[in-house]
Structure 1
Amino acid sequence: MRQHEYLVALKAENGLLTLHTLHWSDEIRDPKKEIDTLPGKAKASDKELTMAEQLIGAMSMTWDPSEFHDTFQEKVAALVEAKKAGETVEKAEPAAEPTGVVDLMEALRASVERAGSPKATGGKATASRKGSGSAKTTGKPPAKKRIRSAPKEDLSGLSKADLYKKAADANLPGRSQMTRDDLVKALTRA
């Protein structure tokens, strides 16, 4: 294959002949000899095992392969179609910064709670509704405060595509190179 010699296993599977490439013996290495910093076997407490089993049980489901699909391929196809239609294609937002979870047990407990109760994720929306309702009950805020806070609240809920459209309407220079946060800042200043 491709002008190289390979070690292979030829197998008959489900009425088909399949060819599996294998590694040569000198390509197989013992990780314990190669990496001296491998962790040893860790003992988990009964509480940790119980919580892990609860999490697995809460997140388990029946397997239906038709429910899963390649979202990356769909996004690329959508970008190609948008480009064909003459639409502007904006750059993707950078990946979110990783957060360092200090307490693994607390993260596992929170995950079990989220998986167990579907309403657990609605906390942020409730808090923002309380904040918007408090202005109505306490009276109108001063005019300056209302003018400054209204655009920020409106912009924070918009997608990057909507922000880009607003930036295009405002004729902001360099908008195609901006991240979502940059667009919010630029539109707030404008």
Structure 2
Amino acid sequence: MAQFEANRAIAGWYAKRAAERDYPGLFLVMSDPVELLCREVLLASRQGDRGLLPGQIQGCGLGVMHGRARFFAQREDAFRDYLAEGRVFGSHGRELVAANSIRAGQYDDGCSRRLTEWVIRANLQVRGYGFKPYIAPACSSGALTILRILEGKWNYSSNYLGGVYFGGKNRTTERGIEWEALPLPELLFDRLKCAYQNLEKIL
């Protein structure tokens, strides 16, 4: 939240300039906390009948969490399924949801919750070094994600979903954002619903 207060003024300034110029393109947010700043950009851009559309704004922060989940999956047999079938959802922060597999018969709730904690803890450990390393976020959530968005390829980013910016696998099409359609296991869906509701409360 300290980062939010520091970054909201900057994001809001650019949002207002974009609205004043009737900017028609994508507005990509990379600063933390990504999902809250996406919402701030949306609200700050509204000036009378002008403003960015919710679908113009995307948050790039989930890619590095996917990268960290893959890192652990390559080193721990318990998480191995993630490499082929795993997903991350939610936010770049505490409301992250990692799933070892999205297949009903393969999803392991305990294993997935453990992987989620490892990824979140790794994120906090990096911050705890006393400086913000830029290489992993700049590549995973930044350059690689932005290229995939612009190319219309599947990527991990946060998009507007019922009033909340929420992360998941999606791609940009001529008709707008296409979310990956998955028949999710019930336990996983319950976790996603809880994460969504927690983000909703924060907003």
Alignment TM-score, normalising by the size of structure 2 = 0.23
- Whose strand proportion is higher, 1 or 2? 2
- Whose helix proportion is higher, 1 or 2? 1
Greater RCO, 1 or 2 (C-alpha within 8 Å, sep 6+): 2
Which has the greater radius of gyration? 1
